[in-house]
A = this chain, B = another copy of it.
Amino acid sequence: MSLNSIGRDIPDSLVGSRPLYQGPWARTPEGLRHAPPLGSIRPGDSKIIPSLREAIAASGLRDGMTVSFHHHLRNGDHVLNMVMEVIAGMGIRDLTVAPSSLFPVHGPLVDHIRKGVVRGLQTNYALGPVAEAVSRGELPTPMILRTHGGRVRAIEAGELAIDVAFIAAPAADPYGNINGVYGPSACGSLGYAAADAQHARFVVAVTDNLMPYPLRPVSIPQTRVDAVVVVDKLGEPKDIVSGSTRITRDPVGLLIARSAAEVIDGAGLIKEGMSFQTGAGGTSLAVAAFVRRYMEERKITASFGMGGTTGYFVQMLRDGLLRSLLDTQCFDLEAVESLRDDPRHVEVDCGYYANPWNKGAVVNLLDTVVLGATEIDTDFNVNVVSSSDGIIMGGSGGHADTAAGARLALIVTTTRRTRLPIIRDRVTTVTTPGETVDVVVTETGVAVNPRRADLADRLRERGLPVVSIEDMKKQIQDLTGKPSPAAVTDRVVALVEYRDGSLLDVVYQVKQD
């Protein structure tokens, strides 16, 4: 076993040529950006291909290759399942599948794993039957879990070399221009698909809404798309975008949110030109609401809000509290409509958002990010990958990216979920290294990372209930008891890559009854 700088053991057999995590900026990029083959399409050539099967045949997909997907259709996505069913029917095997996220709807992948169609998975988030099958050891190779920025980094650095990218295209024209803002499957931003389109050897647009040339706006350009396939339906609209996302009404959630907003203000980050990102959860939105109150009182305008975007942020944009909204993914219909209609609401690609190895991602300029946690340890390491019984049920997404970039990375959470304590000596899996986490806000107090002693003093002066994370842990574990470690075997089922590609942790196969 090899120990990385946050004390996680990585089996030597897995390390190979991979670097161990040594700190958020320990790795310096070397080498060249990945280069796909040049291609050419002549006047008169058509990109419309009548079926997925013919498009896959045209792509030259063969055993052992890598296919990619993006997750903007979320749990309403039919495209991954449609494509994989056709691939399986063509007898192609041993594929690596690299979607930006996996949702419960992607359950049919489990069967493709069992039948040998799929041999590897690489993703940024996995929830549902596929994640559970991986946790049970059904995938023959360890799944690679990345961050949103890390996935783009891996693509641009050639570590995730995509043979064929399938782009779910809510709107496409016959020459392969794509956007996400029109049609029955409109999902808004297509920010996670951009790197796939730029770097895959072959790119297939799958659409249920062929529009006249030239489509505008252009999220994915014709210059990178080889084939356009029209299908009946990309997905289930109600599961692609939700209705309004709402602020929590839970009193504990509101208490935590109010404290979090005070922490942000105490850090001096509610000021003209500020920037912030919150998640789409009810407590995160409540933090935004409290921050908004400060902004209104002081007539402050933020330079930008970053997201996964919700109607709440859209309203702040409309009300003049945000100068702009940068968006990799829309969570609700208001966000889709705003992205379509308001030029201040800007689609950005995921590399622009979070890739640590380009000439500067948005996360570097975040003042504040508000994040959740499944577990936190006393080194401030955060787990959002696995449940406390060791089953994969999430992933970093932008968690580790924004924590590394933001001046203030704030975790908001209750101290326990059902009977389990959130604060522990050791998290089941590290998703986000503690050295990039500044403050944990729970209903029992505010724990400041000792690396931020300056901040602790300022928050104390403001009268916030600053406690040590050890005391926070003790207080909750006095109620819940000490949690047992997850019952796992010694077989690794997933690697957790930090955003720079170094090995942050591994996930072990769970013991089955």
Contacts and interface: CB of A to CB of B under 8 A. Distances in A.
A156 interface: yes
A406 B33 CA distance: 34
Interface in A453-506: none
Interface stretch (A120-128, A220-228, A417-425): A220-228
A37 B357 CA distance: 10
A295 to B, nearest CB: 17
A39 B359 contact: yes
Interface in A398-425: 404-407
B364 A43 contact: yes
Interface stretch (A8-16, A348-356, A372-380, A384-392): A348-356
Contacts of A225: 359-360
A281 interface: no
B303 A360 contact: no
A213 B157 CA distance: 28
Contacts of A360: 41, 45, 47, 175-176, 222-223, 225
Interface stretch (A23-31, A69-77, A310-318): A23-31
A88 interface: no
A323 interface: yes
Among A31, A39, A224, A405: residue with most chain B CB under 10 A: A39
Contacts of A346: 214, 216-218
B37 A31 contact: yes
Among A45, A364, A405: residue with most chain B CB under 10 A: A364
Given A33-B36, A39-B29, A212 B47 contact: no
Please state the number of chain copies in the assembly: 2
A409 to B, nearest CB: 11
Interface in A141-195: 156-157, 175-176
A109 to B, nearest CB: 28
A290 to B, nearest CB: 24
Interface in A211-253: 212-214, 216-218, 221-226
Contacts of A214: 303-304, 323-324, 326, 346, 362
Contacts of A5: none
A1 interface: no
A194 to B, nearest CB: 11
B364 A41 contact: yes
A222 B351 CA distance: 11
A89 interface: no
A29 to B, nearest CB: 4
A176 B304 CA distance: 16
Contacts of A29: 37-40
A156 B198 CA distance: 12
Interface in A27-65: 28-45, 47
A358 B39 contact: yes
A3 interface: no
A91 interface: no
B216 A324 contact: yes
Nearest to A216: B346
Contact of A176 (B28, B40, B359): B359
Nearest to A356: B40
A273 interface: yes
A344 interface: yes
A330 interface: no
A365 B324 CA distance: 35
Contacts of A226: 359
Contacts of A323: 212, 214
Contacts of A47: 359-360
12 contacts: A28-B40, A29-B39, A30-B38, A34-B35, A35-B35, A203-B359, A213-B303, A214-B304, A214-B362, A216-B346, A221-B352, A223-B361
Given A47-B360, A225-B360, 6 more contacts: A28-B40, A32-B35, A32-B36, A212-B323, A216-B346, A224-B359
